[in-house]
Structure 1
Amino acid sequence: MRVGVIGGQWGRVHIAALKRLGLSTDVLVTRRQESARRIAAEEGIATFGTDVSLLDDCELIVVASPNHTHSAYIQHFQGKKVICEKPLLALSQHQNSELGKSYESAAVPCYVNYAFAFQPNIEAMTQLIEQGELGNINRVDVSYAIGFAGEHSMTEWLLEVAIHPLSWLAKAFGLFQVKCSRHIDTERLAIDYRIGDLEVAVTVSRCEVISAWDITIGGDKGEASTGGRFAPDTEWELMPCLHDGEEITTTIRKSPECPWFLANLRSVETILRAWDGERNSSLFTASQAERFELSLLPQE
């Protein structure tokens, strides 16, 4: 199978994941020719450049380019196997001119890569929910502190990074409905969502030192919580999953590999298997991803 990758930064993560899965990248397309040339030389990719037509004879295409290009790319390659990085929506809403159009053919669905569910602490929390250890879930609290560089609005950060835990919750419980937007300014966003009868409180805020996310899920039989941390010049650290205060997973750092890379690897592998007929309810087709991401946008 001939494979093409669009994007040089996160694209390299996919190049490494595909290689681990036995697929070599044949074509690389980036915004700048020199960047494409350098990465292609380092990764051993024969064909590279800035022209998207270089990918026309590829059977599998990974879209890891800037967010505002995602929708147009996956529609351009409709009918091929496409893995698109999240988010599907552009961070600036005026750029979402392609909304509501068909993203995939009936025969070949395009998948959006939300890898969060494949982290071991989240898999442990999923197991607690599915086995009924927490009972009837009655509350979910999600917080995300943003320590990354960037001039995004808080709504844009919601789609860029807080979407990670929310994508998992959407697959675990269903699509979000905005109950009320409690607070939105340049430093903090707080939204109360509803998924059926379940209430989900989400807070996104700026932080100068560290990026961190935390999830707490409470039911009538117990509570589970976990989180993740990232500071400059360090790797992501996944916190233990706690069940009623007791650790059921351990802290995970880069030992020997970044946990985010491994989660991405497993997500891509699951998508490839889905095209081979192995169904997995944790995946989002592009059409499902659009509905999910639109459901997150705060009320004006």
Structure 2
Amino acid sequence: MPSNNTPTAINSAAIIGCNWGLVHLNALQQSQVELKALLDLDINKAQHLAKQHGIANACNDINQLPSVDLVIIASPAASHLALIEHFKHTAIICEKPLMGLSAAKPPTDWPQNLWVNYAFNYLESAQLINNLLEPDQPVQARLSSQVNLPLNFTLEQWFLETASHPLSWLLHKLGEPKQLSAEKRQGQQNNQHLSLKLACNQHQVDVDFSLAGSPGIFHQISLSQGNNSIELQGEYVPGHAWRFAPVLLNGVAQNQGEYHPQDCWLQANHRSTSTIIEHLRGHISKQELLAAGGFSPYKALWLEQSLLGE
């Protein structure tokens, strides 16, 4: 189908942030985009990774980056707005969360070629559930997420780093959220909990998020629609790839689960990045990208909105 956006030549790219940013390597290669540069505040890390992956340039200053068609921003959320402003005339894929807990006011006019990488809708499990849901019928959704990883994040930061992934998919399917209530509490052994109630049009989403339990990330999603109940569970345990249990419809497995030795979550991110590049090149329209699970900056702010109630 023809696109209604102005095509952009996407032949070269730079990645800012050498931790999660490297997840985009395969998508760039598959899309025949040359990765010209890596930027990281740790210049030794940038140089080491550039040499390892055959990348021509490594730097720790944005003014040292060569001219490229696409910039991938995978630095901490607090740096996103300044980087987006600096590269506003270049196509940008920004890692989530878009603004995080920043107190800054969002721009009234975001760059046209800015997209945020929320990839959960690109999982095969999510696509299967999308096909099981009836359009235009109210959904009662419950998301329970539990995290225990050794990084110095606040409860809210952990929420935006982890629970925002499955929540992004729910909001993509159900619509813009309005926060009905939010409750934060401290449990035993320094466990922390956050509960949210969200209204998305005629749908409701209840979120229970906690910093507790076994090491890793654990998601449990339950959807009720009419007489049907749909369930999905997924987990990441350090040292292992993401694994999702079979999708259950009224207790009956609809697939064999989702797992790949190279990590099905990384594969979902590859699909997300590749689809954004296809849009930037003019092969699919903005409307098609949004329908496929793409997140414009306006849509991406739904995740911060769900947490902050703004």
- Same fold by TM-score, threshold 0.5 exceeded? yes
Q: Which secondary structure state, in structure 2, belongs to the residue aligned with residue 226 of structure 1? A: strand
Structure 2 counterpart of 1:77: 87
Q: Is 1:237 aligned to 2:243, yes or no?
A: yes
TM-score, L = length of structure 2: 0.87
Structure 2 counterpart of 1:41: 51
Q: Which secondary structure state, in structure 2, belongs to the residue aligned with residue 4 of structure 1? A: strand
Unaligned runs of 5+ in 1: none
The partner residue of 1:268 within 259, 262, 273 is 273
Counterpart CA distance in 2 for 1:100 and 1:141 is 32
Q: Do the aligned partners of 1:119 and 1:259 also contact (CA within 8 Å) in 2?
A: yes
Q: Do the aligned partners of 1:3 and 1:23 also contact (CA within 8 Å) in 2?
A: yes
Q: Which secondary structure state, in structure 1, belongs to the residue aligned with residue 35 of structure 2? A: coil
Counterpart CA distance in 1 for 2:181 and 2:308 is 8
Q: Do the aligned partners of 1:68 and 1:96 also contact (CA within 8 Å) in 2?
A: no
The partner residue of 1:249 within 230, 244, 255 is 255
Question: Which segments of structure 1 move beyond 3 Å, counting only runs of 4 or more?
Answer: 182-186
Q: What do residues 222-263 of structure 1 show as CA deviations (whole Å, max 9, x unaligned)?
A: 1111121111221111121111111112122233x2101110
Counterpart CA distance in 1 for 2:64 and 2:300 is 27
Q: What do residues 191-242 of structure 1 show as CA deviations (whole Å, max 9, x unaligned)?
A: 1111123221100011241320011110113111112111122111112111
Counterpart CA distance in 2 for 1:160 and 1:211 is 11
Q: Is 1:177 aligned to 2:178, yes or no?
A: yes
Structure 1 counterpart of 2:123: 119
Q: What do residues 91-131 of structure 1 show as CA deviations (whole Å, max 9, x unaligned)?
A: xx3x44252343214xxx200000110011111011111x5
Counterpart CA distance in 1 for 2:143 and 2:270 is 25
Q: Is 1:163 aligned to 2:164, yes or no?
A: yes
Q: What do residues 58-85 of structure 1 show as CA deviations (whole Å, max 9, x unaligned)?
A: 1111111122112221221112111011
Identical amino acids, percent of aligned pairs: 25
Unaligned runs of 5+ in 2: 1-10
The partner residue of 2:231 within 225, 232, 251 is 225
Counterparts of 1:2-13 in structure 2, within 5 Å, are: 2-13=12-23
Counterpart CA distance in 1 for 2:139 and 2:269 is 30
Structure 2 counterpart of 1:283: 294
C-alpha RMSD of the superposition = 1.9
Counterpart CA distance in 2 for 1:37 and 1:218 is 50
Cα deviation, residue 151, structure 1: 2.8
- What one-letter code is carried by the residue in structure 2 that aligns with 1:170? L
Q: Is 1:18 aligned to 2:28, yes or no?
A: yes
Distance 1:96 1:77, change over 3 A: farther
Counterpart CA distance in 2 for 1:138 and 1:33 is 48
Q: Which secondary structure state, in structure 2, belongs to the residue aligned with residue 57 of structure 1? A: coil
Cα deviation, residue 293, structure 1: 2.6
- What one-letter code is carried by the residue in structure 1 that aligns with 2:253? E
Which is bigger in relative contact order (C-alpha 8 A, separation at least 6)?
2
Q: Do the aligned partners of 1:89 and 1:293 also contact (CA within 8 Å) in 2?
A: no
Q: Is 1:198 aligned to 2:224, yes or no?
A: no
Cα deviation, residue 56, structure 1: 5.3
Structure 1 counterpart of 2:132: 128
How many residues in Structure 1 have an aligned counterpart in Structure 2? Answer: 289
Q: Which secondary structure state, in structure 2, belongs to the residue aligned with residue 26 of structure 1? A: strand
Q: Do the aligned partners of 1:72 and 1:98 also contact (CA within 8 Å) in 2?
A: no
